[in-house]
Amino acid sequence: MKRILLTGFDPFGGEQRNPSWEVVRRLDGLLIGDSHQIVSARLPCEFVNSLLILDAALRQHQPSIVICLGQAGGRADISLERIAINVDDARMPDNAGAQPVDVPVVEGGPAAYFSSLPIKAIAQELHLSGIPASISQTAGTFVCNHVFYGLMHKASELTSIQRAGFIHIPYLPEQAVAHPGAASMSLEMVKTGILKVLESVLKTDKDLRIAGGATH
C-alpha cells in the first residue's frame, strides 16, 4: 500500500485552531482508491523544527505523494501554490520566537522549486465540484514557504516521492468571526476539496495547459 503524507500546522498568530491541521487529522488513515492510504503529521509553526518533523515523517512513512497544508487568513479559496522560494523573511516571530530575515531556507540551494502537483488540473476539478480554488504565485516568506521549499528540496533527492506540493486554505468560519470582513471556508468543504485534490493527483499524468497566471 502506497502512502500519501498530508501535513498541517499548529495554530499561530494568536489563533486557537489551524484549519490545516483540523482537516489533515480528519483524513488520517483514509484509503484513496485501492492503492493509497493517507497518513497525517502535525508540524510546529517554527522554522527549524518544522523541517525536522517533516523529515522524520518522510523517513517513517516513505510516501509517494506529499502535500503540506497551511492557513492563509484573508484568502477566499483553496490556493494551489506554484512556487517555493529560497528565502525566509519573517514579518513576525514563529511559535519558537525565531524571526529570520533574508536568510536562505537551504544554504546554496536553488532560488526556487516548482510544485510537482498538477495544479491546473486540480483547480479545474475543484471548480467543477463547486469549490473555490485558484493558482497562487507565492506561498509567502514565513514558515509555510519554508516547509514548501524544504519539502521540494528533499523531493529532489528522493526518487520515492513522485508528487509533492503545498496548498493554502482559508480561515474556518469560527476564526473569521474575529477578523471582520475576512473570508472563510467550512471544514467540510475543505475536507471535500482535499479529497478532490488527491483524486486529481492520482488520475493526472500531465497537467492541463490552461491560463492560471496573474497580472500582479
Has residue 216 got a pLDDT over 80?
no
Q: What does the alpha-carbon distance between residue 77 and residue 79 come to, in Å, rounded to a whole number? A: 6
Take residue 71 and report the three cell numbers written for it. 492557513
List of domains in the chain: 2-203 (3.40.630.20)
Nearest residue to 92 (alpha-carbon basis) of 156, 140, 25: 140
User: Strand 36-43 and strand 101-103: pairing?
Assistant: unpaired
Average pLDDT in the 86-99 region? 98
| pLDDT of the residue at 33 | 85
Alpha carbon distances (Å) from 93 to 45, 54, 100, 144, 197: 10, 20, 8, 13, 31
Percent of the chain residues past pLDDT 90, beyond the cut? 96
**Residues above pLDDT 70, as percent of the chain:** 100
Q: What is the mean pLDDT of residues 7-11?
A: 98
Phi and psi angles of residue 103, each rounded to the nearest 5 degrees, phi first:
-115, 135
Q: What is the pLDDT of residue 91?
A: 96
Give the model confidence (pLDDT) of 127-149 as tens digits.
999 999 999 999 999 999 999 99
What is the SS3 assignment for 167? Answer: strand
- 139-196 pLDDT, tens per residue? 999 999 999 999 999 999 999 999 999 999 999 999 999 999 999 999 999 999 999 9
The set of catalytic residues is: 81, 144, 168
Rounded CA-CA distance 17/24 in Å is 13
**In the predicted structure, residue 201 carries a pLDDT above the cut 80:** yes
Q: What is the pLDDT of residue 39?
A: 98
* pTM, to two decimals: 0.97
Average pLDDT over residues 55-59: 98
pLDDT band at residue 213 using 50, 70 and 90 as cut-offs: confident
- Separation CA 145–CA 139 (nearest Å): 5
